[in-house]
Structure 1
Amino acid sequence: MKFKYLFLLLIIGTGSACTKTDILFKDNTNTADPNITYWDNYTVALSTYKLDTFATTGDSLFVIGTQNDPRFGRINALSFAELTVPTENPLWEQRVTYDSAAILLQPNGNYYGDTTRPFRINAHKLTENIGIDVSASTTYYNPAKTGYDNSLLGSYTGIVYPGRKDTVRIKLADDFGADLFNQIKNKSAVIEDQTTFRNYLKGIALVSDSNYSQAVYQFAAGTGLLRIYYTLRGQYNEKKFLDIGYTASKQYNHLGYNYAGTPLASFNPLKSQLTESSAMDRKALLNNYIPSYIKITFPDILDVKQAYPYVKVIKAALEVRVNKQENTAPFTLPPGLVMYISNLNNEFSSVLLQPGSTDAVQNGNLVINDLEENGTKYTFDITSYINTIIDEGRFSTKSLFLCPYSTGYKTYTSRLVVTDQPNDSDIKLKLYVLGL
């Protein structure tokens, strides 16, 4: 039945678009049943809901970069990590010489911004420990930040290819690398255990240079974050390396924001806030790096009961049209979105499932159609939800939230701007109502 009604939506005229103050309860369909009424643009109210803080610990994910977004402002991401004392020592009592040292990062394919511009990452030594001890019980929430030395430990400048996932190599200063090499080679007291090692080297900060960076990238580290290259001397010299890992629970990211000059300008970066689109230049904003979600309500939905003693919504489709002017290069569309059902306190209680399913989550079924005006869109079947809030009546406290497919900052980049112009919102509710 789903495809039947979607087909009907394509052949039915759109002349019945309604506004909040003037809803026309009249038959405007081409269906054979005179008891079925169709509205192609029922009243939708949009708001932007921004969270206050979120955990960035233990993801084994390095988020680094700077992005200036005309709608979301400036986002600056940097990462911190505590290195782990080597568990093996292949340098001890060996004829070895130091070659170089580097931080190794591999893009995981996710990014936010312009990847064609040069990118610079600077490495610095931390000036304070991450946490007060070596325990793994602490969770770090944005905007936590650890102090680091302004002196440059090493840097990388070049193009990052997130699709190819080519490793980024940050060459470190020779005096730093050689000293670390000698501490391990000589089996000094600083590598006795994690406590002594973190006192010697508190950790690493990885910071982007905003003069170069126009994108935020996500990186992963393999068996080691820091690699020491050396030569094993013998009849035939061998080039080798030693990897030094990091403590996952002592690795976290910091995301800083500057909303000046954007629709988010009235938001406090450290406070949870809800603002209607009318106060945000008729915009509603979704971004998992902020993170911000789009709240959707239907303030006049109970008015459908005024026309008939018995009312049942037989089809309710929520269309999220992609506004080409607001969602253009270098930004990419999220491949999937989800709808959460919330309570009065904007707390998620459940997720919107496929009709008739007990576990299949709706993802918006993104359709890309650049040949047709407003042809690219996400669509959600919210028939059951609409009938529920009609049945609950004026006591209903439910709302819908349009969110990234995963609500964490660490997934693929989800950025979407929708406009909420009177009579022409990018989010439209299409209703088929049976009235008897």
Structure 2
Amino acid sequence: MKKLLYSLIIIIAAICACQDENSELGKSLVDSSFYNIYVDTCTVDISTILMDSIETRGDSICQLGHYKDPSWGEASATYYAEYSANSFTPNENYSYSFDSLVLRMTPSGHFWGDTLTQQRISVYRLKQPIYLDDDEDLYTTTALPTESTPLLSFTFTPRPGQKRELEIRLPDELGKELLTDLIAEEDYFDSQDKFKEKFPGLALVAESNGGCIIGFLVNESSMAITLHYKEITSQRTEKELVFSVNTDYAYTGICHDRTGTSLATLESGIENLIHSYDLDKHAYMQGLTGLYNQIEFPYLNNLQDAGEIVSIESATLYLYPQAGSYNKLNQLPEDIRLYITDENNVLEDYVYGSDGVTVQTGNLSVDEMFGRDTYYSFNVTEFIRNNFGTWGIKRQKLLLSLPDNEMITTFNQIIFANDPDQERQCRLDIRFKIYNEK
């Protein structure tokens, strides 16, 4: 805030260089002056907050893998899935032969880590069906028991930008058992409750030495199990039966260890937020691990000292990612959101654009050549106007987060720089007018 006060002193002292040509109003009637002033050093207090957990049940994207990063810590992503019952009516005049049982997986294009390293995933059978928590949901922190020995393990190399489907062959014994029971019309295919008791589902678990986490689509074909068989009469006809994920009972589980990082002492809950000046002048945002931010402007009302009447004309918030914190391993999200909260941190609304309708998304500007002038920006004029001159319980706050769909399905992330003694840090640019009677 010292910079702000110093800037105001300099600006007001040299006001003739800053005022517009019509700054003196009604001079013949009243001895007064009206000035336009711009200041770009208003303190931005940005904090990091950790959510207790994130709901991931029913998501259209799951995450698999393991990655360790010096800034964020160590993270592992496991996918737990129940499968929907399916069946066919066998013809007593036909015979049937098993071909294969295949798990199909289509990458979503999301990744975090080194995509040049091979990833090894083990597929386990769940010991028991998936049940919802007491509040009828499933969260990143929910862990389920699996059988001690995997059905199989497989290795693949991620290919960012490509959605080429993976086909993982499951054990023939499982496929033959399913086909035999289908032909015998076993009653566990009659309902979902019976099917899940017989076949509780799968857990896809990454090895702990992996160097990347990859997103996969979850839909009727991706993450689905397909039984390939032949229907034999006078000729052989290839058939398939798909067991798709029952998304009501499927979710991504996350294990996140922040030991050894600046975030090691961070506890969940907005009441445990840590200010950037206590995090080496940084703030952290990341999907799935539940990191988001609170923003306040503690010295905003000091602008009242600039004149007898102060009118806010415009205000723009600039947020700079820490140089070197984003690269081919950690890509910046294109879309982030600002939310307005009351003094009790209850969400009230989005921060909209100048039309009052369009939700702002951060207006990411990327310095492709040098990487120094990459930043997000928000027009916060209305928010600053509404909070200028307010104190205590009347003062609103801002929350900054990824959009909901990215917060619950990706590891997209940003480290914000907030060192007031350095260039390209979080800042609030304000243009305002002052009126003084002489």
When normalised by structure 1's length, the TM-score is: 0.87
How far off is 1:83 after superposition? 1.6
Give runs of aligned pairs for residues 362-401 of structure 1, distance below 5 A: 362-372=360-370, 374-393=372-391, 395-401=393-399
1:177 to 155, 175, 178: 175
Kindly indicate whether the alpha-carbon contact (under 8 Å) linking 1:53 and 1:270 is maintained by their aligned counterparts in 2.
no
Kindly report which structure 2 residues correspond to 1:188-207, keeping only aligned pairs within 5 A, or say none. Answer: 188-207=186-205
Distance in 2, matches of 1:407 and 1:432, equals 35
Inter-CA distance 415–183: structure 2 relative to 1 (3 Å threshold)? same
2:154 corresponds to which residue?
156
2:346 maps to which residue? 347
Equivalent pairs: percent with the same residue? 23
1:170-201 Cα shifts (integer Å, max 9, x gaps): 22112222212211122123323323222211
Indicate conservation of the 8 Å contact 1:120/1:213, yes or no.
Answer: no
RMSD, aligned CA: 2.7
The more displaced of 288-297 and 268-277 is: 268-277
* 1:12 alignment counterpart: none
Taking the aligned partners of 1:36 and 1:238, their CA distance within structure 2 comes to 81
Q: TM-score, normalised by structure 2?
A: 0.87
Aligned residue pair count: 417
Deviation readout 1:377-402 (Å, 9 max, x if unpaired) = 11111111111111434553311122
Bigger Cα displacement from structure 2, 92-101 vs 25-34: 25-34
Shift of 1:216: 3.5
Shift of 1:161: 2.8
Relative to structure 1, is the Cα distance of residues 433 and 102 closer, same or farther in structure 2, using a 3 angstrom cutoff?
same
Which residue number in structure 2 is paired with residue 214 of structure 1? 212
Alpha-carbon spacing, 1:164–1:92, altered in 2? closer, same or farther (3 Å):
farther
Q: Secondary structure at the match of 2:390?
A: helix
The CA distance in 2 between the partners of 1:354 and 1:318, in whole Å, is: 13
Secondary structure, counterpart of 1:296 in structure 2 = strand
Deviation (angstroms), 1:148: 0.8
- SS of equivalent residue, structure 2 residue 388: helix
Q: 2: distance between equivalents of 1:187 and 1:128?
A: 23
Matching residue of 2:51: 51
Q: Which amino acid aligns with 1:207?
A: V
- Is 1:328–2:327 an aligned residue pair? yes
Matched with 1:10 is none
What's the offset of the Cα at 1:86? 1.0
1:77 is matched with 77
Distance 1:154 1:221, change over 3 A: farther
Aligned to 1:293: 292
Amino acid at match of 2:408: K
Aligned to 2:305: 306
Structure-1 residue corresponding to 2:29 = none
Aligned counterparts of 2:277 and 2:406: Cα–Cα separation in 1: 27
Following superposition, the deviation at residue 119 of structure 1 comes to 1.8
Distance 1:58 1:269 in 2: 24
Give CA-to-partner distance per residue, 1:119-160, whole Å, 9 cap, x none: 222211000111189xxx931123112211121112331123
**3-state DSSP of counterpart to 1:187:** coil
| SS state at 1:254 partner | strand
Cα gap change, 1:66 to 1:185, in 2 (>3 Å) = same
- For 1:346, what is the secondary structure of its paired residue? coil
Give per-residue Cα distances to partners, 1:44-85, cap 9 Å, x unaligned.
112101111221112243222212222221121111111222
Kept in 2, the 8 Å contact 1:156–1:171? The answer is no
| 1:268 equivalenced with 2:257 (yes/no) | no
Aligned equivalents of 1:319, 1:271: Cα separation in 2: 23
CA distance, structure 1, for counterparts of residue 52 and residue 211 of structure 2: 26
**Larger-Rg structure:** 2
Counterpart Cα distance in 1 of 2:236 and 2:175: 20
How far does residue 205 in structure 1 lie from its aligned partner after superposition? Answer: 0.9
Label 1:123 to 1:46 Cα distance change in 2 as closer, same or farther (>3 A).
same
Three-state SS of the structure 1 residue aligned to 2:209 is: coil
Q: What SS does structure 2 have at the residue aligned with 1:421? A: coil
- Residues 311, 433 of structure 2: 8 Å contact kept: yes
8 Å CA contact 1:138, 1:249 repeated in 2 = no
- Contact 1:74 1:258 (8 Å CA) reproduced: yes
- Amino acid paired to 1:81: A
Q: CA deviation at 1:20?
A: 7.2
Distance 1:196 1:372 in 2: 60
| Cα distance, 1:25–1:337 mapped onto 2, change above 3 Å | farther
Instruction: Tell me, yes or no, if the aligned pair for 1:155 and 1:172 is still in contact at 8 Å.
Output: no
Contact 1:322–1:374 at 8 Å: present in 2 too?
Answer: no
User: What do residues 220-253 of structure 1 show as CA deviations (whole Å, max 9, x unaligned)?
Assistant: 2324711112223344433332111232211122
2:251 aligned residue? 252
Equivalent of 2:421 in 417, 420, 423: 423
